[in-house]
Amino acid sequence: MKIILLKDIINLGKKGELKNVSDGYALNFLIPQKLALVASSKKINELAVMTQKDQERQVKAKDEKNKIALLLNNKKIHLDKKANEKGYLFAAISLDEIIAGIKNELGLELVKSELKFENRIKEVGEHLIGLNYAGQKISLTIIVRAKK
């Protein structure tokens, strides 16, 4: 029986793929669990249209992330943080604080799950850091000032 997968299934295939499985497997497990649909010609055409739209959406999202990465690269972000008299911070700069600084200064809203922060900033001053945003390496300068 030909089916269209509605979800990724280990050892069978990925969402949207057209597969040929035994009738019992399809009728007793995949279709009742809403993991697959019977592949009629109408459903196959809908799948082709849906796949095309997904590909277009992915290309558009990737282009937007590339634009954001270009906007972020080599920018300076200012952060105010409590520090002692020697210039050491009471708490290290977190990724959340960097995201908030980017939003305040550049107006870009980033999702924490898309960023990876490698450095630890624990003192006042200018720090060049590396961020990974959507698979791209970005250099960002963080200027930490002592808050009074």
**Which residues is 48 bridged to in the sheet?**
none
> 12-63 pLDDT, tens per residue?
999 888 899 999 999 999 999 999 999 888 988 888 888 899 899 999 988 9
CATH class of 69-147: alpha beta
Q: Token match 């029986």: residue? A: 1
- For domain 2-60, give the fold: Ribosomal Protein L9; domain 1 (3.40.5)
pTM of the model: 0.65
Looking at every residue in the chain, the average pLDDT score rounds to 89
Helix residue spans in 39-128 (DSSP H): 41-72, 95-106
- Of 42, 144, 137, 31, the C-alpha closest to 89 is 144
- Of 80, 97, 98, the C-alpha closest to 89 is 80
> Both tokens of residue 20?
């040929």
- Return the domain boundaries, the chain: 2-60, 69-147
pLDDT for 27 equals 94
Quote the Cα angle for 76-110-82, to 5°. 50
Cβ atoms 144, 137 nearer than 8 A: no
**Which residues is 77 bridged to in the sheet?**
142
> Both tokens of residue 142?
């963080």
